[in-house]
Amino acid sequence: MPADRGEPAGFVHHACLYGSDAEFLAMAVPFVRAGLAAGEPVLAATTPANIELLRAALGRHAHALDTAETAYFGRRPVERVAAFLGYHGRRARPGVRTRMIAEPLWQGRSARQIAEWQRMESGLNLLLAALPVWMVCPYDTRTVPPGVAEAACATHPARLDGGRITPCAAYRDPADYAASMPLPGPPPPSSAVRAGPTAERAAVRRFARDRATAAGLAGERAALAVLAVHEAADHLLASEGARVALSAWEEPGALVFELRRPGPPDSPVPALAGYVPPGAAPGAEDGLWLARRLGVCLDVRFHDGESRITLRIAGRGDAEAL
Amino acid sequence: MAHTDGARGGGSRIPVGELRPGDHVALLHASDEERAAVLRGFLLGGVAEEHKILYLVHAEGPDGPRELLRECGLAALPGASEGQLQVLRPADLAQPSGELAPAGPRDPAALLGSLRAAAERARGEGYRALRVTGDLCTALCDGRDASRLLRYEALLAEEFDHGGTLAVCQCDARRCDTAALDAFASVHPRSVEVDPLVRTAELVVVRTFDPPGLRIEGVVDTASHRHLRDALQSVASVRGDVRLEMSGVEFLDLAGLRLLMTFARARAARHCTVELTGVPSHLLHVITLIGWDRTPGLRLGAAHAC
């Protein structure tokens, strides 16, 4: 398997299902040692306990290991992708592969968050496809919620157990996988406020401003909500002749905007659009990235011939924004 | 889009192209470039509107129309009729007819009388109105004459309510102290500025001169990226640092924000900076979120509340 060698290749993405400290170390220690020996940048983004175990096992080699406490290395999927790209951007050297141990945090997450993280795990196969990165995602089978370990075999093309690589028979195409995930919340209630369809961005902003104000958001938070909705709509309106229908409603903890664009049937918005942060040159998905980044959760679907973006924005009770 | 906030030398700003008979405004400038740019608009607008144009020289100033045009960066005044533009000392105002004997160049009542006569003469010559400008700075800086000047300005204000004349009172801010500037500002309800580079229903962009830059007001989205890009291009060759004043920005999308970052990078390549002032606080948040706060050449001033 090419991933074994030091030759830079495209993205290699393995899951490691471990049930003990020894099993974690059986994968991590040779993975890190081989990378450091080859002069590759190596990152371990995992739990503090695992970082401690790994450092102890590596001995003096631990000095060369980059580490990050995984809960804070990208709080949400869109930030996680930016964290990976940021690490790669800072550490990568021409002609040399980068290695990452990237253990997502699963405990205590809501069902919606788990679905989002699983979708991102799958999406990384597309999003990072061009990067010479070998990423291993450890899953602690002692603690992950039911179903999460099984899903790892659908979101990673292969498993790495100790030093042994086994292809995952259950691996699924990321776009299909994303489309199969449950919606992040119920459809608009009958009480939802609606507007459009419209091609006028000013009308979209007015609608967003009115709904944000009605939901008790003011000042900077209202302005950010308007910007997020505008950027999501702007992405949909980029197609020739496009119009968007808007609805908005409140949930406990969130103000929800749904934007629907009929067609065009041959160019739906990809479910994984807007996960990569803006780069040096303008990108078609930059605005969608900003909407993802400013919202709590942004879901993209193509259903019944229409692209649909559902954007959840933290409500006025979000204590971090008080 | 209204020009309302923070105008220098008056309560609000008016573009030189929008001046109408009856207007009495201040041109409080701090650079020759700004003065020349406004005067160009003043002269060209005067010709277009078929106004008689008088340039009053109090102490120092252009010797004649040719010198004035050169100061304004104009080779000629296309379409102007013979004698449409005159450069005069206040004492010369009444000379052509000899009907009025001015009591002195700085006597407010006499000057006002002369002006009124000049306006009537201009109408007699077939012009639709009289437009007058002059640099009052020298008088203002002379403490003894300042009060006389201000009385004159107060009289002017009353006179212009009748609507036959418009006046632009120039003052070089570099040559006056704060008290004199405040006094000057207090008698001018509005100040004049260059015509906007961009003026659409959604977006106004005005060239500013002290420091050089742009004032951006209104909405920047897909419909106006081209306008903003063109406006930025117009200050791309400015030497030294540039300031973009953004406290009047109502909405700026991500692609618009990127235009500002691209502009800053280009300035950095020329070893200059771009300062953004009055940036709405949510946009500062976005700039930092993306990491654009580390853009070479970019300086971020104080935030502006949403």
Between CA A43 and CA A35 the distance in angstroms is: 10
At B120 the pLDDT is 85
Whether omega for the bond prior to residue A270 falls within 30 degrees of 0, making it cis, is no
Percent of chain A residues topping a pLDDT of 70: 97
Task: Check whether B101 has a pLDDT greater than 50.
Answer: no
Average pLDDT score over residue span B47-52: 94
Same domain? For A164 and A212 the reply is: no
Question: A201 and B223 in contact by Cβ < 8 A?
Answer: yes
Domain ranges of chain B: 12-193, 198-304
Question: B251 and A222 in contact by Cβ < 8 A?
Answer: no
Radius of gyration, CA atoms only, chain A:
21
CA torsion, points B71, B76, B81, B85, in degrees to nearest 10?
A: 0
* Nearest CB to A220; choose among B219, B222, B281: B281
* Nearest CB to A227; choose among B282, B290, B291: B282
Query: What are A226's two structure tokens?
Result: 């308007």
Listing DSSP states for B224-266 in one string gives: GHHHHHHHHHHTTT-SS-EEEEEEEEEEE-HHHHHHHHHHHHH
Q: Is B255 on the interface with A (CB under 8 A)?
A: yes
Count helices and strands in chain B by DSSP H and E runs: 9, 15
Same domain? For A147 and A43 the reply is: yes
Query: What are B83's two structure tokens?
Result: 């004698």
Q: pLDDT digits over B223-237, tens only?
A: 999 999 999 999 998
Which residues, including other chains, have CB under 8 Å from residue A149's CB and lie 6 or more apart? A17, A139, A141
* Nearest CB to A220; choose among B223, B254, B285: B285
Identify the residue among A87, A206, A244, A290 best suited for mutation to test binding to B, counting B beta carbons within 10 A and taking the highest: A290
Task: Check whether B102 has a pLDDT greater than 60.
Answer: no
ipTM of this predicted structure? 0.91
Closest-CA distance, B236 to chain A, in angstroms, reads: 20
* Strands, sheet with A254-262, edge to edge from the N-terminal-most edge strand: A193-198, A244-251, A254-262, A306-314, A297-303
The answer to the question of residue A186 being in a domain is: no
At A184 the pLDDT is 77
Task: Tell me which chain A residue has its CA closest to the CA of residue B219.
Answer: A202
At B100 the pLDDT is 39
Closest-CA distance, B261 to chain A, in angstroms, reads: 10
Closest-CA distance, B297 to chain A, in angstroms, reads: 15
The CATH code belonging to domain B12-193 is: 3.40.50.300
Host H or E run for residue A90:
helix A77-91
Q: What integer best gives the mean pLDDT of chain A?
A: 93
Q: Is B294 on the interface with A (CB under 8 A)?
A: no
As a whole number of Å, the end-to-end CA separation of chain B is 18
Please report the sign of the dihedral spanned by the C-alpha atoms of residue A49, residue A50, residue A54, residue A55: negative
Closest-CA distance, B253 to chain A, in angstroms, reads: 7
Q: What is the CATH number of the domain that holds A295?
A: 3.30.565.10
Task: Tell me which chain A residue has its CA closest to the CA of residue B251.
Answer: A227
At B144 the pLDDT is 55
At A305 the pLDDT is 85
Closest-CA distance, A217 to chain B, in angstroms, reads: 12
Between CA B130 and CA B163 the distance in angstroms is: 10
Closest-CA distance, A93 to chain B, in angstroms, reads: 21
Q: B139: pLDDT confidence band, cut at 50, 70 and 90?
A: low
Average pLDDT score over residue span A113-120: 94
How many CB pairs lie under 8 A apart between chains A and B?
Answer: 56
Nearest to B77, CA basis, from B30, B39, B43: B43
Between CA B296 and CA B306 the distance in angstroms is: 26
Q: Which of A158, A180, A202 is the last residue of a domain?
A: A180
At B94 the pLDDT is 53
Between CA A285 and CA A235 the distance in angstroms is: 7
Same domain? For A236 and A92 the reply is: no
Same domain? For A219 and A301 the reply is: yes
Question: A223 and B280 in contact by Cβ < 8 A?
Answer: yes
Task: Check whether B3 has a pLDDT greater than 50.
Answer: no
The reply to whether CATH 3.30.750.24 applies to domain B198-304 is yes
Domain tally, chain A:
2
- The residue that leads in pLDDT, A106 or B100, is A106
Q: What is the CATH number of the domain that holds A132?
A: 3.40.50.300
Task: Tell me which chain B residue has its CA closest to the CA of residue A238.
Answer: B222
At A50 the pLDDT is 98
Least confident of A27-31, A152-156, B32-36: B32-36
Host H or E run for residue B100:
none
* Nearest CB to B290; choose among A222, A223, A277: A277
Same domain? For A259 and A146 the reply is: no
Task: Check whether B10 has a pLDDT greater than 50.
Answer: no
Same domain? For A167 and A24 the reply is: yes
Identify whether the C-beta of residue A308 lies closer than 8 Å to the C-beta of residue A244.
no
Same domain? For A168 and A232 the reply is: no
Average pLDDT score over residue span B109-121: 79
Please report the sign of the dihedral spanned by the C-alpha atoms of residue B112, residue B117, residue B123, residue B126: negative
Between CA A257 and CA A314 the distance in angstroms is: 11
Question: A223 and B282 in contact by Cβ < 8 A?
Answer: yes
Question: B253 and A224 in contact by Cβ < 8 A?
Answer: no
Indicate the burial class of A266 (C-beta count within 10 angstroms; 0-12, 13-18, 19 or more).
Answer: exposed
Same domain? For A260 and A155 the reply is: no
Q: Is B286 on the interface with A (CB under 8 A)?
A: yes
Task: Check whether B108 has a pLDDT greater than 80.
Answer: no
Between CA A308 and CA A259 the distance in angstroms is: 6
Which three-class secondary structure state does DSSP give residue B102?
coil
Question: Which residues in chain B are contacts of A79 at CB distance < 8 A?
Answer: none
Question: Which residues in chain B are contacts of A230 at CB distance < 8 A?
Answer: 221, 251, 253
Q: Could you list the residue range(s) of the whole structural domain that residue A140 is in?
A: 2-180
Which three-class secondary structure state does DSSP give residue B27?
strand
Q: Is B269 on the interface with A (CB under 8 A)?
A: no
Same domain? For A33 and A126 the reply is: yes
Same domain? For A140 and A172 the reply is: yes
At A228 the pLDDT is 98
Average pLDDT score over residue span B50-63: 84
The answer to the question of residue A188 being in a domain is: no
Task: Check whether B254 has a pLDDT greater than 50.
Answer: yes
Between CA A81 and CA A63 the distance in angstroms is: 25
Identify whether the C-beta of residue B154 lies closer than 8 Å to the C-beta of residue B131.
no
Identify the residue among B251, B258, B284 best suited for mutation to test binding to A, counting A beta carbons within 10 A and taking the highest: B251
At B223 the pLDDT is 94
The answer to the question of residue A125 being in a domain is: yes
Same domain? For A77 and A129 the reply is: yes
Average pLDDT score over residue span A162-178: 94
Same domain? For A118 and A31 the reply is: yes
Average pLDDT score over residue span B30-37: 91
